[in-house]
Structures are given as C-alpha cells and as structure tokens.
A and B are shown apart, each in its own frame.
Chain A
Amino acid sequence: MTTLRRLFLAPTMGTLVLLFFAPMTIIVAYSFLTRGVYGGVTGEGTIENYIRLFDSLYGVILLRTLALSAVATLLCLVLGFPLALFIARSGSRKNLYLQLVMIPFWTSFLVRTYAWMFLLRDTGLINSVLLAAGVIKEPLPLLYNNGAVLLGLVYSYLPFVVLPLYATLERIDNSLLEASADLGARPWETVTRIIIPLCAPAFRAGAVLVFIPCLGAYLTPDLLGGGKTVMAGNLIQNQFTTARDWPFGSAVSLVLMAIVLVLMIVAMRSQKEDLL
C-alpha cells in the first residue's frame, strides 16, 4: 500500500521542493545580502534590508496594504452577505445564481481589471456618459487613486465571501427562523439577532479568503492605481525589476509571506472543514 502511495506523492513532493521551497530559500538568503552597485547581489551579510522596511517611508506602504485590505474585506462582507442571503432563499434558482456569481470570477482576472480601467478612465464610459449628460464639465479623476484600487479589490474578491456565507445560510434550520417570527420579531430583527450570529464562522472564513489575496495584490493596484507603489506587491515587483534591488525586494516578500502565513494558520485552526 505504501509503495504505490509514495510513488503517487513523489512527483508533487519533488515539484514542491524544487519549485517552491528551493526558490523561497533563495529569497530568504537574498534578504540578508547586499545589493551590488547597479543591481545583482553581493556576498555581504546584513539585516539592513529589514531595518529599511520598517522605516517610515516603506512602513507607509505596508500600512496602506493592511488598511486597503481591511477595508476591502469589510466591504466584501457587508456587500456579500445580503447577496448570499438572497441566493439562499431563492429556492430552485440557487444554482443558477451561484454560477452567475462564480463563473465570471474564474474567467480572467486581468480582463476584469482592465474592464474597470475602461469604465473609469478620463475618456472612459462613466465620464463620457456624465459629460454627455451635462452633469459634469470636466472628467472626474476616477482612476489612478486608492479609491479605484479599493473598488477593484472588492470587485475581484466579492465572490469569495458569497460561497461560505451561502453554505452556512443554507444550513440554518428553518424552524429557528419560524420560532423567531412566532415570538414577534420583525424580519430585520431576525436577520440581525439570529442569522448573522449563526453565520459568524462563515464571516470569519470569508474574511480570511478575501484579506489574504488582498494583502498580496499586485495587478489591481498596478493597473488601477496608476503604476505607483500603492501596495506591498507593487513594491516587491518594482524592486525585482526596474529598481534592481533584489535583497530589499526579498525582505519585503518575506515579511508579506510571514503575515500571510500567520493568518493562514489562525484561519485553519478555527475552520472545521478542510479543502484538502
């Protein structure tokens, strides 16, 4: 039994070691080395990269990343809950609605982000319509700012909260809701006092499912934020390409990974069902 199993697990194990653990080890090593004059890595050891990261300048980027992710997560939860509630109550059309939510999500992240560029830019649809209708005289600067990035993040990850919330809502015993109504609660009160507390684990799960990818976001802040270093992901990409400071970029990557891993462990501890 074990030989076959080992044989089956070996390729995955090998891939992980070669293409995940080895690369991450190199990043760890680089984060403690020094940058060469025009780029590259020299052999001198240092912890300066980490010290630089918590300097006020780059610390702002980390804080902004945390803040944008937190706000995006909150918005997703608030906006996603009523949608999940609607789907859970929609009877025979549940699957159709679920697919309507999930399928666009899986098509193309890049295209969906570009779609918002098309809508929000100065010559984009929203500005064109408002200008044509005479509501505004000059185009509104809807793109290339933190607000656009927030919008992009919420748009990208909203489906992630709908699924766990829907799964929990579907399982809520109807008799609880009936009892609540019988005891005189208005629909609003039933929702806030019974349904939402029952969904607490789903809210936690959904929050983690959104917060973690938001922390690591690169494409959304890059395209919608105007190529400025809005979030940690942009800083990392910048350091590994045009700035050619691989050691510093490695340090930022590891700090981001550390935050993400801590969150993941916390989430796994409080989750009952596993995906894997």
Chain B
Amino acid sequence: MKRLLPLYAAATFLFLHLPLLVLAVFSVNESRFTIWQGLSLRWYKAALEDSQLAEAAWNSFVIAIAATLVSTAIGALCAYGLWKRRSSFLTGSLYTTLVTPEIVMGVSLLAFFQWMFRYLHLQLGMHTVVLAHVMFSIAYVVIVVMARLRTMEPALEEAALDLGGTEWDAFRLVTLPQLWPAIASAALLAFTISFDDYVITSMVAGVDSETLPMVIYAMARRGANPVVNAISTAIILGLGALIVISERLRKT
C-alpha cells in the first residue's frame, strides 16, 4: 500500500498533464502528422502570420482587459460590502451565477441582447461580449477578495472610525492597502477566465468580435491542424504564468 499510493499518484499526475505535454511536444514537430520529424518552429511562425488569428487574439486581449477592469472593480467593492454585512440575496444570486451552465447563460444573454436591440438599434459586438464576460467573472472576483477579507481584523477599521475618520477613509486607508494583492490576484483570475471563454462568447459575439477561442474551436472542428497545437501551447504557457502569479499574490 505504501508503495502503491505514490505510483498511483504519479500515474494520475501523468494523466492530468500528458495531454498538454503532448500538445507542446507536437507543436514543435516539423511534420504536420503525428510522426516525429524533428524540431521546428514553423507552426508558431504560421500562427503569427495568420491575420485572422492576429485579429482574434487582439480582440480577446481587448475584451479581457475591459472585462477584467470592470468586473474586478465591481466585484471587489461588492466583496467589501458583503464583508461589512451579509446579504443572503446577493450571496445566493452570486452562487447561482456560478452554478448556471455556461450555455444557459449564453443563450439567455443572446435572447436579452436581441430583444433589447430591437429598440436600441444596436448590434452584437465587442460591447456585448464584454458585458457578458463581466457578468460571469464577478462571482469569482468576489470569492477571491472575500477570502482575503475574512482573514482581516475588523477592529482595525473600527479603530479608524473611532479616531474620527469616515467610512470611506477607513476603507481607503486601512482595508484597501491590505487588499491590493487579493484584488490583483482576482484580476488575473478574471483575465484568464475571460480570455479563455468560448461558450458564452460564441453566443453573443458579433461580426467583428471574433475571439481567439472561437478561431481555435473552428480549427479544432475542421480537423487536424498543427497550428492549433502551437496556439494552444502558447495559451497554456501564457495563461499558466498568469495563474501562477495570481496564486502567489493570493497567498501574500
């Protein structure tokens, strides 16, 4: 038993990581088939030269940054408000957004936007994607910031109030400085979630708001394409780095 457990754990880790390792290895494969033909960066070059990919990546970045800024701001403030006094309605609602299947959230937003646009003469586009991303990111931000708030001493804020400060002062000068690492961690998490989203984005994207996951999905559906391996590896490394930094910030 003592020996079985580490073996089993090793096998499970392999299971968890093998697919990604395989992708990475074959992204530098010279051949377009699954036969090893030597190291090559040609697929990365092809990915960089693809204008559709470049535009989609740019869109993904812009959307993720916009959605992150908004959702982190809103979510951090919300976490603080909930920390001060609980609201089971708000907490319950946020929980509900977490468990709602992505496809259901996507179709409901599509239905909502299309219904609204009849009166507002707007179209699906970058703005609708950003709104959708803000919606599903808030709960994550609240969780991360809330976790940090729970470890903090409320007495410190009370002391600030006793010393004659306003609530806003107490928030700004006492709590907020300690909260920055958690807020940054939440922001990175929100960025990752937004950048990677496919399901909801595909439902509410417009003509000019194709994102990177949408392009990858189309290529994956179309068949074996080694360029997908290259982009995938790049994404894993990029988002992986962000998540590692996010984790470090969360623990400070």
Contacts and interface: CB of A to CB of B under 8 A. Distances in A.
Interface in A64-95: 79, 82-83, 85-87, 89
Interface string B210-252: 0001001100110010001100100110011001100100000
A104 B243 CA distance: 9
Contact of A13 (B8, B13, B90): B90
B109 interface: yes
B77 A121 contact: no
Contacts of A85: 5
B46 to A, nearest CB: 17
Interface stretch (A45-53, A164-172, A253-261): A253-261
A15 B135 contact: yes
A75 B73 CA distance: 39
Contact of B100 (A115, A119, A223, A257): A257
Contact of B221 (A30, A103, A223): A223
A217 B199 CA distance: 10
B220 A20 contact: no
Given A12-B90, A13-B90, A256-B104, A110 B196 contact: yes
Contact of B108 (A24, A89, A112, A263): A24
Interface string A94-114: 000101110110111111101
A150 to B, nearest CB: 14
B53 interface: no
Contact of A1 (B97, B167, B229): B167
A36 interface: no
Contacts of B78: 8-9, 11-12
Given A118-B229, A158-B16, A260 B77 contact: no
Interface string A19-61: 1111110110010000000000000000000000000000000
B51 interface: no
A246 to B, nearest CB: 7
Interface of B: 1-2, 5-6, 8-9, 12-13, 15-17, 19-20, 22-23, 26, 33-35, 73-75, 77-78, 80-82, 84-85, 87, 90-91, 93-97, 99-105, 107-112, 115, 131-132, 134-135, 138-139, 142-143, 146-147, 167-168, 171, 189, 192, 196, 198-199, 203, 213, 216-217, 220-221, 224, 228-229, 232, 235-236, 239-240, 243-244, 247
Interface of A: 1, 4-6, 8-9, 11-13, 15-16, 19-24, 26-27, 30, 79, 82-83, 85-87, 89, 97, 99-101, 103-104, 106-112, 114-119, 121, 123-125, 128, 155, 158-159, 187-188, 191, 212-213, 215-219, 223, 227, 233, 236-237, 240, 246, 249-250, 253, 256-257, 260-261, 263-264, 268, 274-276
Given A107-B239, A253-B108, 9 more contacts: A12-B138, A15-B138, A16-B90, A19-B109, A108-B232, A115-B232, A118-B19, A218-B103, A260-B100
